[in-house]
A and B are shown apart, each in its own frame.
Chain A
């Protein structure tokens, strides 16, 4: 067995008296689209926060491609190739959509100012590449007419697209998507699904939290079901649908 791309072992997190993550263990194999589902309050977003460094676990480990990243800062997790999106993306005040998208590409030359003096031509070339990549993806997502608009002018659905596009520009190995189609109209939902499928075909491993069952059951395999902070089961969409424990969890458990 090859090393899984993500391995979460016995992860625990409590907020006061509330146990949000309760000895959760699971792995994500490279090259899969894994769905993460569960009733409200099951701890799905908390799990993303623990993996991506936005929260530190009380106990347990997070390994990405065999490296221990438990409690690492978000930037370190991103540098390790794991990029996440947020359920409710925040608009970026004072930026155009183009600028908001330009945040995506990793290891930008501007982050190493000396290069500006040493290899100015390379800097210019990389910046040109990033701008081209932004325009290409904006055209694919049909938001190219908005590139010069303030990012705060976008609708909720458009913000979701910008969020996904920015995550894609980071060229992640592992993409964590938190409810990518919540509040998105059906046409856009199909567009997002096809973009995720294309990314997957290009070798990006995806893990998706989603309440839209048609969407996630169509797109993901395997599916991991969380309930009250624990992994309830993992299986194919068909196995998840036919497991009485799953519907029981959605209806309020025992």
Chain B
């Protein structure tokens, strides 16, 4: 576990309180309460179908909460459109189909600036320095990138509006172990510079290794939350993943 140096008195940056959500008639989340402090990296883990991605989609406005409240920076954002949510300072990196394949790397990053009042040219140049692989290929179509490079592009694009909170859905999905490790390093580096992160990750060990805190979700409800290095020591974990 790394220490975030967060002042304990600070109000949470993001607060979900008793949130219900789902798709169509299928309820997926049942009274979910989760908080993320400024600068904190929180990893959301749990077995398949626990509702992890649904939490991110509901925060980002892709799904409307059925009940409960979502507050970001003291403003209620529950039910707001993604276009509004992104302007409040929240970035989202979806798990799949997260880049525009027919656009160049440069154009993909410029798309991120839609949520800015300027063209974001300075930020994009900084991101090129941070992610040299993107600078090398700035004129290439995103469809020519490898899976790991696409993940980095999606991640960089979410950073263009300079969010204070990033929602990241399974950054390691479908990536070879070394590539996944590089992506996790980028997540940790961005968090070190002060951006709070709420990350869903199937690979609990790797996700928790860069996190401050873990939240364990099961069947649409928070089972428990603990410091990242203590989560996997909990005896409930084996039962949650393998039944009991």
**Interface segment out of the listed B9-17, B69-77, B86-94, B202-210:** B202-210
B174 and A251 within 8 A (CB): no
What is the size category of the interface that chain A forms with chain B? 20 to 34
Q: How large is the interface on B (under 10, 10 to 19, 20 to 34, 35 or more residues)?
A: 10 to 19
The answer to whether A40 and B202 touch across the interface, beta carbons within 8 angstroms, is yes
Given contacts A18-B176, A40-B202, contact A250 B242 (CB under 8 A): yes
Chain B residues within 8 Å of A40, by CB: 48, 173, 202
Contact with B along A3-43 (1 / 0, CB 8 A): 00000000000000110000000000000000000011100
Asked if residues B241 and A213 are in contact (CB atoms below 8 Å), the reply is yes
Chain B residues lying within 8 Å of A213, measured Cβ to Cβ, are 47, 241-243
Whether A251 pairs with B243 at a CB distance below 8 angstroms is no
Q: In the assembled complex, which residues on chain A have CB atoms less than 8 Å from the CB atom of B48?
A: 40, 211
User: Which residues of the partner chain A approach B242 to less than 8 Å between Cβ atoms?
Assistant: 213, 217, 240-241, 246-247, 250
Residue of A nearest to B25 (CB): A155
Complexed CA–CA distance, A250 and B201 (Å): 12
- Jot down 22 A-B pairs with beta carbons below 8 A, ordered by A: A17-B176, A18-B176, A40-B173, A41-B174, A182-B49, A211-B47, A211-B49, A213-B241, A213-B242, A216-B243, A217-B243, A241-B238, A241-B242, A241-B244, A247-B237, A247-B242, A250-B47, A250-B204, A250-B242, A251-B204, A251-B205, A251-B237
In the bound complex, do residue B49 and residue A241 qualify as a contact, i.e. CB atoms below 8 Å apart? no
Interface residues in chain B, defined as those with a beta carbon under 8 Å from any beta carbon in chain A = 47-49, 173-174, 176, 202-207, 232, 237-238, 241-244
A residues near B238, Cβ cutoff 8 Å: 241, 247
Contact of A252 among B49, B173, B206 (CB under 8 A): B206
Find residues 182-204 in chain A having any chain B CB closer than 8 Å to their own CB: 182
Return chain B residues, CB-CB under 8 Å to A251: 203-205, 232, 237, 241
Q: How many pairs of A and B residues are in contact by the CB < 8 Å rule? A: 48
Q: Is A214 an interface residue (CB 8 A)?
A: yes
What are the residues of chain A within 8 A of B202 when measuring CB–CB?
Answer: 39-40, 252
Flag if B243 contacts A247 (CB, 8 Å). no
Q: Write the nearest CB–CB distance from A9 to chain B, whole angstroms.
A: 27
For residue A216, give the distance in angstroms from its CB to the closest CB of chain B: 8
Query: Complex Cα distance A40/B49, Å?
Result: 12
Residue interface mask A126-139, B partner, CB < 8 A = 1: 00000000000000
Contacts of B232 in A (CB 8 A): 251
User: Least Cβ distance of B154 to chain A in Å?
Assistant: 19
Interface residues of A in 204-234 (CB under 8 A from B): 211-214, 216-217
